[in-house]
Amino acid sequence: MSCITTLTRTLRQRGYRMTPQRLAILQALHDVGHLTPAQVYARVRATGMTEATVYRTLDFLAENDVVRVADRGSGHLAYELAGEDHHHLICRACGAQQEIPAEVLRGMLDALEGHTGYRLNAGHLTFFGLCPICQESFTAEPVYEIVGG
C-alpha cells in the first residue's frame, strides 16, 4: 500500500483532508531533500497554488509530524519529509553540512530526559561549529581578545 495512502488515512482519522495542494508539496519534498518555503513554491507554482498555501501547508504538515522543520541559520526555515531521525551539523565558516544519525545522540537525549523528566522529541537538532578545515584558518585569530599588533 502506497505511502500516500497511509498518510491520507492518518490525516482523515484526525479529522483532516487530503488535497492536491498537500500532495504536490509532499511530492516536492520527496523529490528534493530540504526545501525552504520559497523553494517549495518554485516547484509547485505551476499548479496555481498560492504562496500563503505553501506556508500554511508546511506548517500544518510539521504540526502533524509529517515533515520536520530545521533552523539552519540561513534565515529561512527548511522542511523535509519525516524519515529516519537525524540531526544536522553546519560549519559556520564555510557552510559545510554533515548529517548526524539519531543513534549518535540517543544516549545524550536519554540522559537529558532522566535529568529533566521531560519526554523529548526525537529529532532534527542543528549544531553549529567549525569543520576540521576551517579550524586551522581560525586558530591564528581567536574570536575574543584580539590583541592587535
Q: CB of residue 48 vs its own copies: minimum separation in angstroms?
A: 27
Please pick, from the candidates 27, 42, 104, 137, the single residue that binds its own copies as defined by CB under 8 A. Answer: 104
| Spatial distance between the Cα atoms of 94 and 4, rounded to a whole number of angstroms | 37
Nearer to its own copies, 81 or 100 (CB): 100
Q: Which does 94 bind (CB under 5 to 8 A by kind): its own copies, Mn ion, Zn ion, none?
A: Zn ion
Per rule CB under 7 A, is residue 26 in the interface with DNA?
no
| Spatial distance between the Cα atoms of 135 and 95, rounded to a whole number of angstroms | 13
Q: Which does 131 bind (CB under 5 to 8 A by kind): DNA, Mn ion, Zn ion, none?
A: Zn ion
Strand partners, 98: 89
102-127 exposure pattern, b = at least 16 Cβ within 10 A, e = fewer: beebeeebeeeeeeeeeeeebbbbee
Q: Which does 128 bind (CB under 5 to 8 A by kind): DNA, Mn ion, its own copies, none?
A: its own copies
The site string for DNA over 44-83 (x = CB under 7 A, - otherwise) reads ---xxxxxxx-xxx-xx--------------xxx------
Strand partners, 79: 35, 69
| Closest CA relative to residue 128, chosen from 74, 67, 62 | 74
Binding stretches for Zn ion (CB under 5 A):
91, 93-94, 96, 131, 134
